[in-house]
């Protein structure tokens, strides 16, 4: 039996390769909108916008503009989403290893994807003693500094202690619409 070999468009494989890790990470975030849809809409909007700019400026390359533009957009998005995920995981791991669960635990990690400014914005909702929460707050400030100095992104890492504060979840959902789910879930 003869196998048929089909030609695959190289740009399609490249885009699928670039986007597979990105979309796998996006599956970790649940919110009022599907994170995959949000990112796909951003990619389309940004691609169209950049193609129009290239046409107006007369810098339209010989190959399809989306073949050069889309991979760059995907790389930027991948780097951004990966950084958000790495920061969230790092803080949660540190909190788990550093503090006794009865003294401090991370209850939720929430975020807002900001494709206009690429701000790494995370909210850690914790349940803990005030002393341990103060130590975690110091860790968040240090992590913001590392993200800026080493990753060249601005980070805004906040925390709320549900043990000591009444949390307005309506405001939390508005400001941080996506919740980071555990990979095991």
This prediction's pTM? 0.82
Extents of the domains making up the chain: 10-180
56 band by pLDDT with thresholds 50, 70 and 90: confident
- The yes-or-no verdict on residue 147 having pLDDT over 80 is yes
- Quote the pLDDT of residue 53: 76
CB 162 within 8 A of CB 127: yes
Which segment of 28-42, 84-98, 110-124, 132-146 scores lowest on mean pLDDT?
Answer: 28-42
Distances (CA, A) of 73 to 48, 68, 69, 175: 12, 9, 6, 25
CB 39 within 8 A of CB 77: yes
Which segment of 15-19, 125-129, 141-145, 176-180 scores lowest on mean pLDDT?
Answer: 15-19
Q: Look-up: residue for tokens 């807002």? A: 112
Structure tokens that stand for 162 in this block: 């549900």
- Residue by residue, DSSP assigns 51-114 as HHHHHHHT---SS-HHHHHHHHHHHHHHHHHHHHHHHHHHHHHHHHHHS-TTTEEEEEEEEEE-
Mean per-residue pLDDT, 93-109: 89
Cα(101)–Cα(103) distance, rounded to whole angstroms? 5
More confident residue, 30 or 48: 30
- The yes-or-no verdict on residue 64 having pLDDT over 60 is no
Buried b (16+ CB within 10 A) or exposed e, 118-145: bbbbbbbbbbbbeebbebbbebbeebbe
- The yes-or-no verdict on residue 133 having pLDDT over 50 is yes
């Amino acid at each position: 039996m003869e196998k048929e070999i089909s030609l695959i468009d190289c740009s399609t494989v490249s885009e699928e390769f670039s986007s597979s890790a990105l979309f796998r990470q996006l599956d970790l975030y649940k919110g009022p909108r599907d994170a995959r849809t949000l990112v796909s809409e951003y990619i389309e909007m940004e691609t169209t916008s950049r193609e129009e700019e290239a046409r107006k400026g007369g810098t339209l390359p010989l190959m399809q503009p989306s073949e050069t533009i889309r991979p760059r957009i995907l790389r930027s998005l991948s780097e951004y989403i990966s950084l958000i995920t790495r920061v969230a995981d790092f803080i949660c791991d540190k909190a788990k290893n550093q503090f006794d669960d009865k003294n401090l635990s991370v209850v939720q990690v929430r975020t807002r994807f900001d494709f206009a400014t690429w701000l790494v914005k995370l909210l850690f909702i914790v349940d803990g003693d005030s002393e341990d929460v103060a130590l975690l707050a110091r860790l968040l400030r240090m992590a913001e500094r590392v993200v800026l100095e080493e990753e060249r992104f601005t980070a805004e890492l906040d925390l709320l202690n549900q043990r000591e504060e009444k949390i307005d979840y309506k405001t939390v959902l508005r400001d941080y619409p996506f919740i980071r789910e555990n990979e095991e879930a």
